[in-house]
Structure 1
Amino acid sequence: MVIGSAASAGERRIVVFQANTSPAQRVALAKAAGGTVVRELPLINAVVIEHPTQVSIAADKLRVLSEVKRVDLDPKINWLKMADARGADFALPSTAGIMKGIRALKNLPQEAPAPTGQETPWGISRVNAPAAWATTRGKGVKLVVIDTGIDMTHPELVGIIKGGWNAISTAATFNDDNGHGTHCSGTIAAKDDDQGVVGVAPQI
């Protein structure tokens, strides 16, 4: 279970257990196999294990246990630690090139054009949402977005957010630290308010 040369210090595995195992059992089994538990993932009955040099051996020991459903790589961690996980080499621009770019910028308009009102995004039109609005605009519907969180101060969403839960860390906040969750929430429920964009169900 080693990808390329990723078997470096601290490589991780996600160990998913059968539903009938307790949190204490999961930790104990992981430790008995030689792994160090660095995070518990109770929503999927899993733990994340790490070992300085032999995580694949610990993973193999766990994989054969009846209590274990599967063992997966932790791709976010392991990709970053791969020897060839790097960007392309780029030459730095010359001073002359930088100055040329600065001079070109001076010729551009210095103020952004004022917004021209509300936009109906391509995706909203593509699913024919405007035609559905004659029947319903989502009023009274409750929904849950499982994503990276939500920006509670976003003008298109403020006032319609009823709560949230952070399933990744123990932090009390579910504020969006990525932007994707807010984007998806806006696609679903951005207000019809003559500014910004409008969502599929603007009266949720």
Structure 2
Amino acid sequence: MGPLLTVLLAAFAPSLVQSAAPERIPQIHSITFSGSGCPSEPKWSGGFDDLQISFGEFGARLPSDRSTVNCQVHIQGTGGSPGWQVALKETWVTGHVWLQPGTKLEYLTTSFFSQDAARTNTQRGEKKNDGKGSVNEDVVLYTDLSKGQVWSQCFGGDGYTGIFNVNFRGVLSGDGGRASFEAQKQQWRLDWRRC
């Protein structure tokens, strides 16, 4: 029974390590925003691992020159436990869509760290109107980023995370149709692992 238990523990060890969190979570040292969807600084609350962003001006319209909008958060953390890495696991964006028949909203979430900006993880989702009537409803847009995760540098003695970037983009499209999308709030969940 002993050897079997050892094998089972070894098999589950990676997932257990990844789902755990360091004793000291990094604290937000700096946070800034950029993009057409956040021309003024959005309000935010929470900490590095439970950040909540409240958008004030994230709105896309079709037809218009604002059929595509985005907001990117640039966040730096310090004070985390040395010997850990962090990656974005999943996000939720709450908002409202209005879609005439034949139109759709595509939403994309991209995460990367500035020190290795060529390595990105982008996941997509969409909401279509294939029916005959208009869709006019509140939505929660969920994105799973657990596949292809991009990990931070290994935290050193100062617990510095590097510059963590998360970009959310909404894209409206459809031949001759009209549509609108407003994002109100974004939340996320992180993964942790030892390094």
TM-score (norm 2): 0.24
Structure in which a larger fraction of residues adopt helix: 1
Relative contact order higher in (CA < 8 Å, ≥ 6 apart): 2
Structure in which a larger fraction of residues adopt strand: 2
TM-score (norm 1): 0.23
